[in-house]
């Protein structure tokens, strides 16, 4: 436990959006704040609260259910995803406002609402309740910089300051397949993209704009953002056990969609040589097509390389039973695993990834080179950075949305055995050290978190109200 404490614990409410990739970074930030003496309440749906209860039983974090999605079918209830969002906003905003106002009569009234930027209506609650607000972006700074001009174009806003970076040259087009429907398309972008661009609505009114990144990883973009907003990097938001070890009992994320098969994975990896295993996983949300799964399987079949492959339950039927039999001596297929433990294992030498931002940060923090197979949205931006900017991986190029087995095999071989692979390992080892440095004592992210806390005093709020 960290030694420094604020004199009297302030109260922060954290409002996370749906999905494992959104919830876990905000939970980790909550744990970091709680370790510094801040009272934390995580506001979420009833189903998420139930799922997180056991994992957070020993922490200083409280859970508050603001919407009973269990009785209304969640995202598959009436109206689908659109219906869920509407109900969550209507009932969630009412219940959250009431909770915050009720806390005014307690020993620890709420001082600040940290909300996922994908929930723009949360900013109105801060205004109505008279508390500070912090918009939390669970994507990279570069992704936000890419989306911002798109937002200005779609909603006919005058850009405050347009980004112009060399690394944006050559960015691939964003892909939109396998996204939930929010209605019929009537303009240039699908409705789901219009919803995602809504993260920029009102966020310029936020007291802080928080990013799960660190200064030296995206320095140029961070400096640009600071010209527009009070942008603050507070990452990487990995469990403390894998970085600075300053937060007690913090070795796992607090939320899993699928049940991990951790012991089986670790026992299997323990018998493998250092850097000899390819870890393949496409995250919690991506749903690979049958053609793409076949190509991944063929790339692993034609290689003598050991592999650990996460094939989610709903993808199992797309995988040939012959493949499992043919590769049983060199591969292990699981429905889910503790990715943190796997990437931290000495046997893993390469990560074939969809390049979701959490997976990207984890690979960097553990120093594991990446073969990038982005599927949708900001994953293409992250993959571009991995290869073109940071030099810590290779993009396995797709043709008509599917990456061929030969291309996947080529990239894996190059990362593990080629000259390019040697340079990649040097680059990612350097970034690994910078990631640990950022969150450790007096690192850039650690300082930013302390500065954020220091502003939660009465004098600050009196100044803000004036």
Q: Which residue of the set 17, 69, 116, 207 is catalytic?
A: 116
Active site residue 22: yes
Polymer length in residues for the chain:
466
Angle between helices 444-454 and 20-35 (to 10 degrees): 70
Judge contact between 180 and 192, C-beta under 8 A: yes
401: left (phi over 0), alpha (psi -120 to 50) or beta: left
Alpha helices (H) along 10-140: 20-35, 46-53, 80-102, 122-129
Judge contact between 111 and 12, C-beta under 8 A: yes
116: left (phi over 0), alpha (psi -120 to 50) or beta: beta
CA-closest candidate to residue 450, choices 459, 463, 439, 465: 439
Q: How many CA atoms lie within 13 A of 368 on its CB side?
A: 33
Which residues neighbour 127 within 8 Å (Cβ) at sequence distance 6 or greater? 205
Neighbours of 188 (CB within 10 A): 10
Q: Tokens 């919830």, residue? A: 23
Handedness of CA 250, 254, 256, 259 (dihedral sign): positive
Judge contact between 139 and 38, C-beta under 8 A: no
CA-closest candidate to residue 237, choices 112, 343, 139: 139
Neighbours of 375 (CB within 10 A): 23
Q: Which residue of the set 10, 11, 22, 345 is catalytic?
A: 22
Q: So which residues are the catalytic ones?
A: 22, 116
């Amino acid at each position: 436990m960290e030694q420094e404490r604020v004199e009297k614990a302030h109260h922060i409410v954290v409002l996370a959006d749906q999905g494992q990739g959104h919830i876990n970074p905000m939970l980790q930030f909550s744990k970091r704040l709680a370790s510094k003496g801040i009272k934390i309440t995580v506001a979420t749906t009833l189903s998420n609260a139930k799922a997180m209860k056991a994992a957070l039983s020993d922490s200083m974090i409280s859970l508050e259910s603001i919407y009973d999605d269990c009785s209304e079918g969640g995202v598959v209830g009436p109206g689908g995803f659109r219906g869920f969002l509407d109900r969550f906003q209507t009932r969630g905003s009412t219940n959250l406002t009431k909770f915050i106002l009720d806390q005014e009569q307690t020993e620890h009234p709420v001082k600040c609402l940290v909300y996922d930027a994908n929930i723009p209506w949360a900013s109105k609650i801060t205004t109505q309740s008279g508390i500070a607000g912090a918009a939390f972006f669970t994507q990279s700074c570069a992704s936000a910089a890419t989306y911002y001009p798109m937002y200005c174009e779609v909603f006919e806003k005058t850009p405050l300051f347009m980004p112009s970076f060399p690394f944006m040259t050559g960015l691939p087009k964003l892909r939109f397949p396998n996204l939930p429907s929010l209605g019929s398309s009537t303009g240039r972008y699908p409705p789901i993209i219009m919803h995602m661009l809504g993260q920029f609505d009102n966020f310029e009114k936020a007291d802080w704009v928080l990013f799960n990144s660190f200064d030296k990883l995206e320095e140029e973009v961070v400096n640009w953002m600071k010209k527009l907003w009070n942008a603050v990097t507070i990452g990487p938001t990995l469990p403390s056990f894998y970085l600075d070890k300053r937060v007690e009992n913090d070795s796992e994320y607090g939320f899993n969609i699928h049940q991990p098969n951790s012991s089986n994975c670790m026992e299997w990896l323990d018998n493998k040589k250092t850097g000899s295993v390819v870890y393949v996983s496409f995250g919690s949300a991506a749903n690979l097509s049958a053609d793409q799964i076949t190509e991944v399987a063929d790339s692993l079949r034609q290689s003598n390389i050991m592999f650990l492959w996460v094939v989610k339950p709903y993808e199992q039927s797309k995988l040939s039973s012959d493949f499992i039999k043919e590769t049983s001596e060199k591969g292990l297929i699981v429905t889910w695993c503790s990715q943190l433990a796997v990437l931290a294992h000495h046997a893993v030498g390469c990560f074939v990834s969809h390049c979701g931002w959490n997976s990207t940060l984890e690979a960097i923090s553990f120093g594991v080179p990446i073969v990038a197979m982005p599927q949708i949205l900001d994953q293409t931006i992250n993959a571009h950075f991995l290869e073109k900017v940071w030099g810590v991986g290779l993009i396995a190029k797709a043709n008509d949305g599917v990456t061929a087995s030969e291309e996947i095999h080529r990239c894996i071989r190059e990362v593990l055995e080629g000259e390019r692979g040697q340079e990649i390992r040097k680059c990612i080892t350097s970034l690994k050290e910078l990631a640990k440095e950022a969150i450790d004592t007096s690192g850039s992210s650690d300082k930013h978190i302390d500065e954020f806390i220091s502003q939660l005093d009465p004098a600050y709020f009196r100044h803000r109200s004036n």
